[in-house]
Structure 1
Amino acid sequence: MLKLKTVFNFELRGMLQKKSLLVTTGIMCVIVLLLTSIPTFIDLFGGEDIEEGTGENGGTAEELTLVYENDELSEAISPVLGEAAYQTEAELREAVQNEEVASGFVVEDYDRYTYISYDSSTDATDQMIFEAQLKQLNENRLFEENGMDSQRIREILNQPIEQETVFLGKDAGSGTAIAFAIMIIMYLLILLYGSSVATSVAREKDSRTMELLITSSNPRTLILGKVGAVGLTGILQVASLIVFGVIGFKLNKENYPEFLLDMLQGSMTMDVVLVYVLFSVLGYILYLFIYAALGSLVSKVEDVNSAVTPITFLFVLAYFAATIATNAPDIAIVKVTSYIPFISLFTMPIRYMLTSVPIASLLVSSAIMLITVVLFAWLSIHIYKFGALNYGNRLKFKDVIQSFRK
Structure 2
Amino acid sequence: MNNFWLILSQSYTTKFKTKSFLVTTVLVALAILVATNMERIFSYFDEGGETEQIAVVDESGTLFEPFQAQFSAVEDEVKLVKTNESESVLKDEVEEGTYEGYLMLRETEGGLPAGVYKAGNITSSGSAEQIQQALQSLKTIHAAESLQLTDEQMKIWNAPVQFNTVALADTAKSEEERMQAQSLVYVLLFFIYLSVIMYANMIASDVAIEKSSRVMEILISSVSPVTHMFAKILGVGLLGLTQLGIWLLVAYLSLANQPESLAANWLGFSSLSSSMMIYAVIFFVLGYFLYATVAALLGSLVSRLEDVQQMMTPLTLLVMAGFFISMYGLVQPESTFITVTSYIPFFTPMTMFVRIGMLNIPLWEILLGVGVLLVSIFLLGSIGARIYKGGVLMYGKSNSLKDMKKALDLSKNR
List aligned pairs for 1:295-310, cutoff 5 A: 295-310=299-314
Match of 1:57 in 2: none
Distance 1:273 1:166, change over 3 A: farther
Match of 2:235 in 1: 229
Q: 1:318: how far off?
A: 0.9
- One-letter identity of the residue aligned with 1:225: A
Of 275, 280, 293 in structure 1, the residue corresponding to residue 279 of structure 2 is 275
Match of 1:353 in 2: 357
Q: 1:4: how far off?
A: 1.2
Distance 1:63 1:7, change over 3 A: closer
Match of 1:68 in 2: 58
Q: 1:99: how far off?
A: 3.3
Distance 1:37 1:133, change over 3 A: closer
Unaligned runs of 5+ in 2: 69-80
> 1:281-337: CA deviations, max 9, x gaps?
010111111111111111211111111111111111111011111222111211111
Match of 1:96 in 2: 94
**SS at structure 2 position matched to 1:106:** strand
**SS at structure 2 position matched to 1:115:** strand
**SS at structure 1 position matched to 2:159:** coil
1:5–1:225 CA contact under 8 A, matched in 2: yes
Unaligned runs of 5+ in 1: 54-61
> For the residues of structure 2 that align with 1:19 and 1:262, how far apart are their CA atoms?
31
Distance 1:32 1:156, change over 3 A: same
2:101–2:118 CA contact under 8 A, matched in 1: yes
1:34–1:248 CA contact under 8 A, matched in 2: no
Match of 2:265 in 1: 260
Match of 1:127 in 2: 128
> For the residues of structure 1 that align with 2:195 and 2:244, how far apart are their CA atoms?
8
Match of 1:115 in 2: 117
Q: 1:244: how far off?
A: 2.5
Distance 1:254 1:340, change over 3 A: closer
Match of 1:326 in 2: 330
List aligned pairs for 1:159-198, cutoff 5 A: 159=159, 170=173, 171-198=177-204
Distance 1:261 1:191, change over 3 A: closer
Distance 1:6 1:159, change over 3 A: same
1:86–1:92 CA contact under 8 A, matched in 2: no
Distance 1:340 1:262, change over 3 A: closer
Match of 1:3 in 2: 3
- One-letter identity of the residue aligned with 2:84: Y
2:289–2:377 CA contact under 8 A, matched in 1: yes
Match of 2:138 in 1: 137
> For the residues of structure 2 that align with 1:18 and 1:369, how far apart are their CA atoms?
31
% identity of equivalent residues: 26
**SS at structure 2 position matched to 1:137:** helix
Q: 1:125: how far off?
A: 3.8
Match of 2:73 in 1: none
TM-score by length of 2: 0.83
Distance 1:280 1:46, change over 3 A: same
> For the residues of structure 1 that align with 2:192 and 2:296, how far apart are their CA atoms?
18
Q: 1:38: how far off?
A: 4.5
Q: 1:178: how far off?
A: 0.9
> 1:365-397: CA deviations, max 9, x gaps?
111110111111122222212222221221532
Distance 1:261 1:139, change over 3 A: closer
Match of 2:65 in 1: 79
Identify which range, 239-248 or 307-316, moves more after superposition: 239-248
Match of 2:75 in 1: none
> For the residues of structure 2 that align with 1:205 and 1:262, how far apart are their CA atoms?
44
**SS at structure 2 position matched to 1:396:** coil
Match of 2:348 in 1: 344
RMSD, aligned CA:
3.1
Distance 1:101 1:343, change over 3 A: same
**SS at structure 1 position matched to 2:57:** strand
> For the residues of structure 2 that align with 1:94 and 1:29, how far apart are their CA atoms?
45
1:326–1:350 CA contact under 8 A, matched in 2: yes
Q: 1:356: how far off?
A: 1.7
Q: 1:199: how far off?
A: 0.8
2:63–2:105 CA contact under 8 A, matched in 1: no
Q: 1:229: how far off?
A: 0.9
> For the residues of structure 2 that align with 1:308 and 1:293, how far apart are their CA atoms?
10
> 1:159-195: CA deviations, max 9, x gaps?
3678888887533222111111111111221222111
**SS at structure 1 position matched to 2:365:** helix
Match of 1:59 in 2: none
Match of 2:154 in 1: 154
List aligned pairs for 1:196-235, cutoff 5 A: 196-235=202-241
1:33–1:247 CA contact under 8 A, matched in 2: no
Distance 1:141 1:217, change over 3 A: closer
Identify which range, 171-180 or 111-120, moves more after superposition: 111-120
- One-letter identity of the residue aligned with 1:203: I
List aligned pairs for 1:394-405, cutoff 5 A: 394=398, 396-401=400-405, 404=408
Distance 1:283 1:176, change over 3 A: same
> For the residues of structure 1 that align with 2:140 and 2:166, how far apart are their CA atoms?
37
